[in-house]
A and B are shown apart, each in its own frame.
Chain A
Amino acid sequence: MHNADTLERTTVPQQQGAAQRIVHYRAYKPAPFTLEDREQATILFGGLQWRTERLIQGAIERFGYKTAVLPTATREDLLAGRELADIGQCCPTSFTTGNLAGFLRKESQRLGAAEVSRRYVHVTAGSCGSCRFGQYHQSYELALRNLDLESFRLFLLQQNALDQGEAAGQGLDLSPQLMTGVFWAVLMGDVLQDLEYQIRPYEVHAGETERVARESVERLHEALRSAPLRGGRKSGVLWYLLTGHFTAALREVYARYAAIEVDRLRVKPLVKITGEFYLQTVEGEPNYNIHRWLEAEGAEVYPAAISIWIDYLLRLAAQEAEDRIGVRRGARVKRAGAAAVQGLLRWNYDRMRAALGGLPREMPRQEELRALAAPYYHSRLNGGEGDMLVGKALWAHRKKKAHMTCELSPYSCMPNTMSVGAMAAALGRHPDVLYAPLEIKGDAEVHALSRCQMILTEAKRRAQREFEEALERTGLTPASARERLAGHPARLAGCKVPHGGAAGTAANLVLHLAATN
């Protein structure tokens, strides 16, 4: 027992006057977002990676709203978050709370609290889980109270409903049509990110990928923002499903990426990022800039797509309904509905991948991840990433999708600690899995990165060995492989190097060069 903390909350009682009326505590309730607010108020959001955030802006702006993205959270935000809300938060809660509070505090100093409350509203994920993901807003609310910003409006999105319309008042109509636009932004953000991370480590001219990425995101932002408004609140969803508007824009973007000159014979370990949703998604100080750090250390990063998480949530919904068939009315229909939405998600994801030359990696099948994880983690345990966390690490290893898995595990996260613990049994049975669970506290970077470094060293060795084996198998040498590459389409980023059974890009390229020359 920690005495200091234990004693912390002793309240010295105040004597009150006998006639004092009791005013009971009530939770924060946002004032509605009225139709007039639409003209004035800016919708604030954040917490994802920059590409997706920019695309979501386009999807929302299409409906006439003003939007702004919160800056990526910093260490300063972490400290502010810890200070403003109750102690003992998981680190993503601290980061996001501090991030919102920091932004509002600065704006308040500039404009005054009343103007900030008038000018901005914050929309954030509510989530239906019982972990703190469903309770982030509690910390936000406390921070707002502590900043005297109680009239600031904060709206929660429920992850299990497409129609969010009623939640916020008449002015903010988060209709199925608008939400589908947001989902499309997420899908496109994912495929773009995946493509970019496949190219940048191999680019011949430094900075080219980054430039193309920025231009591409702007092009797609515009495609979302200026998309024709077809159909009503609900029927408009159909348009998204059937339109070639976005795939055409993606093809245009692909042409830009395709022309980037690359040298994929650079031997690099492929590192898959997994972990808690926020930490695996964000690119910045909350996860010690792990993506950039890994690239700087000579790795190729396999980023975590948000779409896979959505696919997972749909799988959970389908499972939940499936378990209740014969017990709950409508369960069969619900299961079919969830499976159908899952099918549509995957189909559209694949359409977008195809528009990008088939380069972005496919989503793993949920059934496969579930089966791999089954001996170690029950598929019905939810909160966080559940069994998917175990499944993804085993899948990446068994299917040679990566040399190592870097697991971003937030300090004090409830579900994540459970899955990471369960991994111990999986590693007992598969000792050759390279698995680096990094506890992310937000301010213990050296410790986490040096731990990652150790496993990365082994991943590098494996990548090198695999490359040498590929050379040996094909009878090529580094020099002859390079010679073959000179006239080969694979010297440009647009050429897809098929997965030839190796995890690493260079080894697969050697196998491909041997097969195609």
Chain B
Amino acid sequence: MDTSAAGTETRIAHGALPARDKLRLGIPRVLNVWSTHQFWIGLFGALGLDARRIVFSSDTSDEQMREFGKGRGTVDSCYPVKCVSAHYGELLALDRHRRIDVLFSTMIYSVPSFLHGHVVDSLACPRVMAAPENIKAGFLKEGDAFAARGVRYVAPLVALGEPDMAARQLLAALAEFLPGVTRREVEAAVRAGYAALEAFAAAARRQSREILENCARLERPCLLVLARPYHMDPGIGHEIEVDLQAYGFPVLWGQYLPTDPDLLGWMFGAEVAAGQVRSGLDIADVWPSSYSANTNEILWAAKFAARMPWIAGVIRLSSYECGMDQPTYTPVQQIVERSGTLFFSFQDLDSTKPAGAVRIRVETIAHYLARDAAGIIARKRDASPPDCPLAAAPLP
């Protein structure tokens, strides 16, 4: 059997499909889709699919699991992977006129990362990449649940971290439900996908910079969230940062920090000059096993927080049974705390949000921030070089 390039038998074909502009595509909003969704929208848009017919599953929730995920699990896993069954189930259960034709669930092998070139690799967690195979099994073990709903299941493996590979890997899978699609078309669509993703990230980074500029100007503290992209899912991250925002602290996400050369030069220039790191995006000094993209970004963002005066506190979110986060707990905490920045961690997050406990934690965090932020900012600024480019920014 040929298993080259796109090769696995993950396609389960059923029935005829409508034309492209009528095709309804279901995408589980899970795992690294949270950091790549713009790519998929850009890709399918360029291929002529109607954006209104691209259906993402809802945010993760207990109800979703109860209603659509029950009995589909095959093995105990970390919480974000366990939830994927419910997302599949929800998409399969969509009723008559919202019924999807294709369930498209990619095995994202690697992801585009702003640290590319500065780290060993940008791979996805082994569970992230393999989740579709694992979850699929739960829908096949007692008969083919996809076939029963007349849905075509398509799960290509794609190394999004290698743009020149992505088109090749996606072509065969796309041809499954877009008959006649050409290589050129897919290549152009992939380019459009990356452009959409980059535009989104650039805008988000700009926004983060503006927040930091504002904080610098007003000598105000802000908070940084260190988490995996899917902790933005209210059912996975429990919106802890939203509760903090309500206290008036602007919140940044590690994935979307500004990476402008002037800022990185100011923050890391001395260490580069001293040969401690090769560049402002190098993390070899704290994390030499830099294979995993999301882990790398968390480590880098922790370094960023340690050197950014106005980030007075860091909130670390981790899911129940996350094997990737486990070895990073101490390094991340150490990176942050050695700089005098406040560090708060919510570990073992799973399905239930213990509202009371979170409220108390949030109050505690707010209290310490209010009490200590000015001192933290002053100390970190004293330790930083003069002429911060953030402070020099013109008023909006």
With a CB–CB cut-off of 8 A, which chain B residues contact A124? none
With a CB–CB cut-off of 8 A, which chain B residues contact A24? 271, 303, 306-307, 335, 338-339
| Interface residues in A11-46 (C-beta closer than 8 Å to B) | 11, 13, 15-16, 18, 20-27
| Interface residues in A418-473 (C-beta closer than 8 Å to B) | 418-428, 439
The answer to whether A371 and B10 have CB atoms under 8 Å apart is: no
**Size bracket of the B interface:** 35 or more
A25 and B335 in contact, given A6-B348, A11-B343, A16-B379 (Cβ under 8 angstroms): yes
The answer to whether A132 and B326 have CB atoms under 8 Å apart is: yes
The answer to whether A374 and B9 have CB atoms under 8 Å apart is: yes
The answer to whether B347 and A6 have CB atoms under 8 Å apart is: yes
With a CB–CB cut-off of 8 A, which chain A residues contact B75? 417-418, 420-421, 424
| Neighbour of A27 across the interface among B7, B285, B320, CB < 8 A | B285
| Neighbour of A22 across the interface among B4, B338, B351, CB < 8 A | B338
A132, B78: Cα distance in complex, Å: 15
| Neighbour of A6 across the interface among B121, B288, B357, CB < 8 A | B357
B238 to chain A, nearest CB (A): 8
The answer to whether B126 and A428 have CB atoms under 8 Å apart is: no
Q: Check: B77 CB closer than 8 A to any chain A CB.
A: yes
The answer to whether B338 and A25 have CB atoms under 8 Å apart is: yes
The answer to whether B157 and A1 have CB atoms under 8 Å apart is: no
The answer to whether A377 and B322 have CB atoms under 8 Å apart is: no
B12 to chain A, nearest CB (A): 10
With a CB–CB cut-off of 8 A, which chain B residues contact A371? 1, 3
A414, B172: Cα distance in complex, Å: 28
Which residue of chain A has its CB nearest to the CB of B312?
A13
B213 to chain A, nearest CB (A): 22
A130 and B291 in contact, given A21-B383, A427-B141 (Cβ under 8 angstroms): yes
Q: Check: B182 CB closer than 8 A to any chain A CB.
A: no
Majority-rule SS of A interface residues: loop
- Beta-carbon contacts of A91-116 to B below 8 Å, as 1s and 0s? 00000000000000000000000000
The answer to whether B157 and A13 have CB atoms under 8 Å apart is: no
With a CB–CB cut-off of 8 A, which chain A residues contact B333? 9, 11
Which residue of chain A has its CB nearest to the CB of B299?
A27
The answer to whether A134 and B126 have CB atoms under 8 Å apart is: no
The answer to whether B134 and A422 have CB atoms under 8 Å apart is: yes
| Interface residues in B120-173 (C-beta closer than 8 Å to A) | 120-121, 123-127, 129-131, 133-138, 140-142, 157, 164-165, 168-169
The answer to whether A22 and B380 have CB atoms under 8 Å apart is: yes
The answer to whether B130 and A418 have CB atoms under 8 Å apart is: yes
A393 to chain B, nearest CB (A): 13
Which residue of chain B has its CB nearest to the CB of A88?
B326
The answer to whether B380 and A1 have CB atoms under 8 Å apart is: no
A415 and B130 in contact, given A6-B349, A129-B291, A425-B140 (Cβ under 8 angstroms): yes
- Beta-carbon contacts of A174-191 to B below 8 Å, as 1s and 0s? 000000000000000000
Q: Check: A327 CB closer than 8 A to any chain B CB.
A: yes
- Beta-carbon contacts of B324-367 to A below 8 Å, as 1s and 0s? 11111111011101111011111111111110010001001000
Interface-lining segment among A56-64, A265-273, A378-386, A490-498:
A378-386
The answer to whether B320 and A2 have CB atoms under 8 Å apart is: yes
A86 and B330 in contact, given A13-B368, A21-B383, A425-B137 (Cβ under 8 angstroms): yes
With a CB–CB cut-off of 8 A, which chain A residues contact B342? 11, 13
The answer to whether B133 and A377 have CB atoms under 8 Å apart is: yes
- Beta-carbon contacts of B208-250 to A below 8 Å, as 1s and 0s? 0000000000000000000000000000001000000000000
With a CB–CB cut-off of 8 A, which chain B residues contact A483? none
With a CB–CB cut-off of 8 A, which chain B residues contact A26? 276, 285-286
With a CB–CB cut-off of 8 A, which chain B residues contact A418? 75, 77, 126-127, 130-131, 133-134
| Interface residues in A40-90 (C-beta closer than 8 Å to B) | 85-90
23 A-B pairs whose Cβ atoms sit less than 8 Å apart in the complex: A1-B348, A1-B357, A6-B346, A6-B347, A9-B329, A10-B364, A27-B284, A130-B292, A130-B324, A134-B289, A142-B330, A323-B4, A323-B5, A374-B1, A375-B9, A378-B157, A379-B8, A381-B157, A417-B134, A418-B126, A418-B133, A418-B134, A422-B137
| Other A-B pairs, 5, CB within 8 Å; known A22-B379, A417-B76, A422-B134 | A25-B286, A130-B121, A374-B9, A422-B130, A428-B141
Q: Could you list which residues of chain A lie within 8 angstroms of chain B, going by C-beta atoms? A: 1-3, 5-11, 13, 15-16, 18, 20-27, 85-90, 126, 128-132, 134-135, 137-139, 142, 319, 322-324, 327-328, 370-371, 374-384, 412-415, 417-428, 439
